[in-house]
Homo-oligomer: A and B are copies of this chain.
Amino acid sequence: MKVNKGVEWAAHACALLAVLPEGWTLSAEALAAYHDVPPAYMAKQMQALSSAGLVVSVRGAAGGYRLARPARDISLKDVFLAVEGAAPSFRCTEVRQNGPCGAAKAQCRKPCGIAASFYAAETAFRDSLAGVTIMDVVASASAASDLGKAAKIATWIQSNASRPGTER
């Protein structure tokens, strides 16, 4: 029962993309450098976000990633499902059908009480994440940081972000 490490990275990457000026992008490499994580693996997570439609990718020189929609419309559940996949974490192997007293397959169209409870618990997990948006995350982070840090980030963005479609 371990959540992929990539979820943390992807969520933080979204938070950074959220404070990017309109029309600008950050490359996978830049995002990796910002968070000091392996570039190739960070790129993988960004691809997952991209194919889930959470971020838009811009190919070519001066390309990179930007959020596909406003930060308030992207939840942590979206990020979680994008990189972790939608498969349920509880894998019922239908043990109730096994052994000397196994139930007939015909009587197992509904999940057993145990499986149903775990599915419900997972729904609760996801619903909880669905209530938190990237905007919320950014807000709580900026509330906890001082002015100096904000300036530092702004400076870093200016020298690392690019703007496709125009010369720098």
Interface residues in A109-147 by Cβ distance below 8 A to B read 110, 112-118, 120-129, 132, 136-137, 139-141, 144-145
A107, B145: Cβ atoms under 8 Å?
yes
Cβ of A118: which chain B residues have Cβ within 8 Å of it? 3, 7, 76, 129
Q: Chain A contact residues (Cβ within 8 angstroms of B): what range?
A: 35 or more
Given the interface pairs A5-B93, A121-B125, the reply to whether A15 lies near B114 with Cβ below 8 Å is yes
Determine, out of A56-64, A66-74, A97-105, the stretch whose residues face the partner at the interface.
Answer: A97-105
Which residues on the B side are within 8 Å of A89 (C-beta)?
1-3
CB pairs A–B below 8 angstroms (23 shown): A1-B2, A1-B4, A1-B89, A2-B2, A2-B91, A3-B90, A7-B90, A9-B95, A33-B99, A35-B95, A35-B99, A36-B99, A76-B121, A96-B141, A101-B149, A101-B156, A107-B144, A110-B144, A112-B141, A113-B140, A117-B132, A118-B129, A123-B128
